[in-house]
Amino acid sequence: MDKKTIRDIDVQGKRVFVRVDFNVPLNGSTITDDTRIRAALPTIQELRAKGARIILASHLGRPKGQIVAQLSLKPIAARLQQLLGTSVAFSADSIGSGAEQQVGQLQDGDVLLLENVRFHSGEEKNDPDLAAAFAKLADVYVNDAFGAAHRAHASTEGIARFLPAVAGMLMERELSVLGEALAHPARPFTAMIGGAKVSDKIGVIEHLLAKVDRLLIGGGMANTFLAAKGYELGKSLVEADRVEVARELIQKAQETGKELLLPVDLVLATAFAADAPSRIGAVDEVHADEMALDIGPETSRLYAKTVMTSKTVIWNGPMGVFEMEHFAAGTNAVAHAMAEVQGMTIIGGGDSVAAIEKAGLAERMTHISTGGGASLEFLEGKVLPGVAALQSRKGASQ
């Protein structure tokens, strides 16, 4: 990774504005999953040890520029205080005289959490005046919010125009692990892509197809690929306007000698419901009133074997409607296969992370990305605005 990090700068006695991703799920004021808060702890602890005066900023939910009490970061300040074992101050706003006053009271090693940056309409518009107001609070900017790095917002990209900008430790790890996997993978290199729609991940599939040895397709998007091969899929989700694209990708894989695996059997039901009666059927025997809701057991075995014989595996997207226990077997099978890989395993965010955690296998993965959309765009080869804004070790920003 060629971006500067907090290890490359002196922060002693300096006010450091740290953009974190504390967009955690809440039930009322109760945090139901604090994974993202925990993920930021190494950066916060490192900055405290180096004598920085730490100003944390994050979004939470989609308040759309309005103050929404239910989306206040105040409960997160309390949880962060527990996790750090030290006092965490909270500012009722993320800019202005009140925030400035609280920042002015910080001593070396102190931590202050600002209120939800999306309470300001200028945040998602990347308003330069709001970015300047954020920058006024600090001497240095640290971006540790990989999950928001694909957004050019005032607190992720705009502020870096006003302050020296470097990566936090979480951002550094995300970029290093994902970057290394794409640039110098141990082979065989396998990518497993699932989820509902091909349209969401065409760019990712195209980019990965040039790099991997094997590409496994599952979930609803597999239906569109199967349709491209001429199979009748009944009531299954098929993106008719993407069938030709899927056909082109299949052909490209053949021409370049890449192994593109599609389901050979499916779990079929006549209704999209958790208690719907189901059966196993080959891809060429889907009835007109049926829909595919999971990969079948033969496909699960094939995919698991392919994964387990790989040295690098990237997985993004479930193999079926895994939220429904009845249709989770395929996703669970590949999750357990990931745990058996003798090599690098990367979970690319979103539902795949939920599946791995639900299976109790998170600790057996090499890396679990904290950024769903960001990891997808990175895997697609796109430049992430929040990363591009950081200073390069070579001197100039990229």
**Which residues carry out catalysis?**
36, 197, 350, 373
**Interhelix angle 221-228/243-255, nearest 10 degrees:** 70
In 3D space, the residue among 111, 110, 152, 161 whose CA is nearest the CA of residue 133 turns out to be 161
What letter represents residue 267's amino acid? V
User: Quick one: CA torsion of 296, 263, 377, 355, rounded to 10 degrees?
Assistant: 10
- For the chain, what is the total number of helices (H) and then of strands (E)? 13, 17
In 3D space, the residue among 320, 228, 290 whose CA is nearest the CA of residue 281 turns out to be 290
Three-state DSSP class for residue 176: helix
Structure tokens at 28: 């009322």
In 3D space, the residue among 118, 112, 80 whose CA is nearest the CA of residue 98 turns out to be 112
What lies within 8 Å, CB to CB, of 225 at 6+ separation is: 198, 217, 246, 249, 250, 262
Contact between 315 and 217 under an 8 Å Cβ cutoff? The reply is no
